[in-house]
Amino acid sequence: MSDRYAQISSLAWAQILDRLKALRDSGETYQAIGRRMGVQRGSVQNWIDGLRSGERVSFADMLRYLDSLQIPIDSILKGLPTEVPPLKNTQIKNLRPNAQADPAFIMSGEAPLNSIGAVVNVYATAGAGLALDNQTDTPLAQISIPAKYVRPSLLVVIVEGDSMEPTIKKGAYVGIDHSAEKLIQGEVYGVNLPYEGVVLKRVYFDHSSDSLVLKSDNQKHSDIRLPIENREGLIIGKAIWVMQDL
């Protein structure tokens, strides 16, 4: 871990501990705090009592704790030096046939925090079905994403079909927020279809027949109609970002 990462981690953990102690002093139980953070009550107590430190906490978990405790990441940046050396020019040079390649660009160790990514698991969008409890499924891979796109309710999938092209291409990584509590007509959602697993579709309501209409952006794929009744668990979350090749 670089000195800068260590500094960020130390500042973040100090604020997390302060918030944990404040919650405890306000009367919130260790168990309630643990539910808030998604950890065991014993971990919370050990942290507060100083029996365990944050040295082994991953950067992704650190971001998740900050979010669950409503600690703005800007408050951590205030404890860092504000002057950041300018990054090297990253534009393409020698744009001509058989040009001599320039050395590869390397991110400065003093780059601003918003350049720091978090490693997340990636799951398939088709197959035998995808559980929302990420820990029960085996991820296909791991990728690094910008910290601003990380949230506790994030599920990242890789698209295996072409039904949402050209908007979402085959091979794209899609972030799904499974804490979304309401449907918005025409937005893209992860839909858990029987025998297919999770697929990405635009969701519409047909009030005349009390059904959901699942539409693909690729016109080669037909609409899917499903009755609204007894469809709990059908919609697993809203697509909130896409990473793909141009």
Write the pLDDT tens digit of every residue in 127-184. Answer: 334 444 443 456 777 888 887 888 878 888 888 888 899 999 988 899 998 887 678 8
Enter the CATH code of domain 3-77: 1.10.260
Strand-pairing partners, residue 243, are 173
Nearest to 199 by CA among 130, 134, 125: 125
**Whole-prediction pTM:** 0.53
Domain ranges of the chain: 3-77, 117-243
Residue 138: per-residue pLDDT: 67
Reply yes or no on whether the pLDDT at 48 is more than 70.
yes
∠ CA 205-154-212 to the nearest 5 degrees?
A: 10
- In 3-state terms, what secondary structure has residue 154? strand
User: Which position has the higher pLDDT, 70 or 242?
Assistant: 242
Is the CATH number of domain 117-243 3.10.180.10?
Answer: no
Residue 27 has pLDDT above 70, yes or no: yes
Backbone angles phi and psi of 76, in degrees to 5:
-80, -40
Number of helices and strands (H, E) in the chain?
Answer: 5, 9
